[in-house]
Amino acid sequence: GAVVSQHPSRVICKSGTSVKIECRSLDFQATTMFWYRQFPKQSLMLMATSNEGSKATYEQGVEKDKFLINHASLTLSTLTVTSAHPEDSSFYICSASWGYRWDEQFFGPGTRLTVL
Amino acid sequence: AQSVTQLGSHVSVSEGALVLLRCNYSSSVPPYLFWYVQYPNQGLQLLLKYTSAATLVKGINGFEAEFKKSETSFHLTKPSAHMSDAAEYFCAVSDNTGNQFYFGTGTSLTVIP
Band of pLDDT at residue B1, cut at 50, 70 and 90: confident
Q: CB-based contact (8 Å) between B3 and chain A?
A: no
- As a whole number of angstroms, the distance between CA A94 and CA A10 comes to 14
Residue B98 has pLDDT above 70, yes or no: no
Distance from CA of B52 to the nearest CA of A (A): 13
Band of pLDDT at residue A82, cut at 50, 70 and 90: very high
Residue A1 has pLDDT above 70, yes or no: no
Given a contact cutoff of 8 angstroms between Cβ atoms, the answer to whether B78 and B85 are in contact is yes
Distance from CA of B104 to the nearest CA of A (A): 5
Which residue is closest to B40 within chain A, CA to CA? A109
Residue B31 is predicted with a pLDDT of: 87
Q: What percent of chain A has pLDDT over 90?
A: 61
- As a whole number of angstroms, the distance between CA A97 and CA A21 comes to 18
Q: Omega of the bond prior to A8 within 30 degrees of 0, cis?
A: yes
Residue A15 is predicted with a pLDDT of: 97
Provide the 3-class DSSP secondary structure of residue B69.
Answer: coil
- As a whole number of angstroms, the distance between CA A28 and CA A50 comes to 16
- As a whole number of angstroms, the distance between CA B53 and CA B96 comes to 12
A95–B43 CB contact, under 8 Å = yes
B103–A43 CB contact, under 8 Å = yes
The mean pLDDT of A50-79, rounded to a whole number, is: 91
Burial class (CB in 10 A: 0-12, 13-18, 19+), B10: exposed
Distance from CA of A104 to the nearest CA of B (A): 8
pLDDT digits (tens, 9 = 90+) for B35-91: 999 887 677 888 999 987 789 999 999 999 999 999 999 999 999 999 999 999 999
- As a whole number of angstroms, the distance between CA A38 and CA A58 comes to 16
- As a whole number of angstroms, the distance between CA B37 and CA B42 comes to 10
Distance from CA of A4 to the nearest CA of B (A): 8
Band of pLDDT at residue B92, cut at 50, 70 and 90: very high
B43–A44 CB contact, under 8 Å = no
Least reliable range by pLDDT among A71-75, B19-23, B60-64, B73-77: A71-75
Q: Which of B51, B103, B105 sits opposite A103 (nearest CB)?
A: B51
Stronger pLDDT, A54 or B50, i.e. the higher one: B50
Q: CB-based contact (8 Å) between B26 and chain A?
A: no
B43–A110 CB contact, under 8 Å = yes
Band of pLDDT at residue A53, cut at 50, 70 and 90: confident
Residue A100 is predicted with a pLDDT of: 62
Burial class (CB in 10 A: 0-12, 13-18, 19+), B84: exposed
- As a whole number of angstroms, the distance between CA A18 and CA B26 comes to 38
pLDDT digits (tens, 9 = 90+) for A96-112: 988 666 667 888 989 99
